[in-house]
Amino acid sequence: MMQPDQVVTELPVTGWTGPFGPQIVQTAVSALEAGRVIVLPALAFAAEPAELSVLSADLLSGRRKNISLDRATGKIGGAAAVPAPLEALMRRFAFQADSLARGLLAPYGAALRAGRTSFRPAEIAGRSYSPRKDDRRLHIDAFPTRPLHGDRILRLFANIAPDGKARAWRVGEPFASLAARFLPSLPTPTAARARLYAMLGLTKGVRSGYDQLMLALHDTMKLDEAYQSRAPALPWSFPAGTTWMVFTDQVPHAAMAGHFALEQTFYLPVSAMASPETAPLRVLERLTGRVLA
Ligand code: SIN
Ligand code: FE
């Protein structure tokens, strides 16, 4: 059974802007890299009344789960309509999430790159998804079209549910034990297939051995019913009005219930980490005895 102190580290952060003290910064970096979720129970992202009044799952287009903001282009995707308060909410969150991450994770400096911002208004519980897309199953994050070559995926979430509903997760075992468990059943990466996918435009660039293993791990663990029902995991609830951060490529997680979350993705090269040996890339390289990116 997983213990709470293996899974989460709470930090008494009360503002979105640093500078933060050296002690809290060091704790944040080491907890994240050790595979824990950093929880900020006293940090709420405040939506304005005009924004709250437009928040609705009806903003989603069709079957989409997320509305996303591409910061580079300013484009919002996945929305049936984009009322001005929705755009304002997402932009302000993107800005504040960036400020928080840069302050709290100051040692990463400019190596930490911001990716997409998402708004997740729909209730997770009771929806139907294909097993591979069902994030209620324990998984690590791996992107099918965007090869990362070992770069880390760091995500910052804020629960802004106007009705106060908590976001319920399950958090799983350490990456090294997950990888050791599944590696024998994963296909050996092949450069030929990776080149073909890139040529066909199925991926943005060529998948490394690392990308192939991480995608296979994502799918294999999600589709393994025995693992899903018996895997070591701890239920954890994030109350409305709280914020949390986690390396989702490293920490097995399942989002079971909740609605109205905001999320900001960041990428980080392994070389910028304080303890690079904890990166999934390095763990997989040790276990396979191969260079994977
Ligand atoms: C996920 O990354 O699996 C979903 C997390 C969430 O939306 O709470
Ligand atoms: Fe995920």
Q: Which domain, by its residues, includes 227?
A: 4-288
Residue 72 belongs to some domain of the structure:
yes
Average pLDDT score, the chain: 96
Residue 34 belongs to some domain of the structure:
yes
Residue 86 belongs to some domain of the structure:
yes
Per-residue pLDDT averaged across 113-137, rounded?
A: 94
Residue 236 · residue 156 · CB < 8 Å: no
Mutate to test the pocket of ligand 1, among 242, 243, 248 (most ligand atoms within 8 A of CB): 248
Residues with CB under 6 A from ligand 1: 120, 135, 141, 157, 167, 248, 253, 255, 261
78/59 Cα distance (integer angstroms): 9
The candidate with the shortest Cα–Cα distance to 280, out of 190, 192, 217, 201, is: 217
Residue 293 belongs to some domain of the structure:
no
- Per residue in 163-215, pLDDT tens? 999 999 999 999 999 999 999 999 999 989 899 999 999 999 999 999 999 99
Structure confidence at residue 53 as a pLDDT band (50, 70, 90): confident
Is the peptide bond preceding residue 19 cis, with omega within 30 degrees of 0? yes
| CATH classification of the domain holding 269 | 2.60.120
Residue 134's pLDDT is what? Answer: 96
pLDDT at 23 over 80: yes
Residue 90 belongs to some domain of the structure:
yes
Residue 110's pLDDT is what? Answer: 98
Residue 143's pLDDT is what? Answer: 93
pLDDT at 39 over 80: yes
- The count of structural domains within the chain is 1
Per-residue pLDDT averaged across 238-251, rounded?
A: 98
Distance 254 CA to ligand 1 centre (A): 7
pLDDT at 128 over 90: no
The candidate with the shortest Cα–Cα distance to 140, out of 20, 43, 76, 227, is: 227
Distance 21 CA to ligand 2 centre (A): 30
Atom 6 of ligand 1: nearest residue by CA position: 255
Min mean pLDDT across 9-23, 47-61, 231-245, 264-278 is at: 47-61
Residue 28 belongs to some domain of the structure:
yes
Residue 117 belongs to some domain of the structure:
yes
Q: What percent of the chain has pLDDT over 70?
A: 100
Residue 175 belongs to some domain of the structure:
yes
> Which residues crowd ion ligand 2, with CB under 5 Å?
141
pLDDT at 1 over 80: no
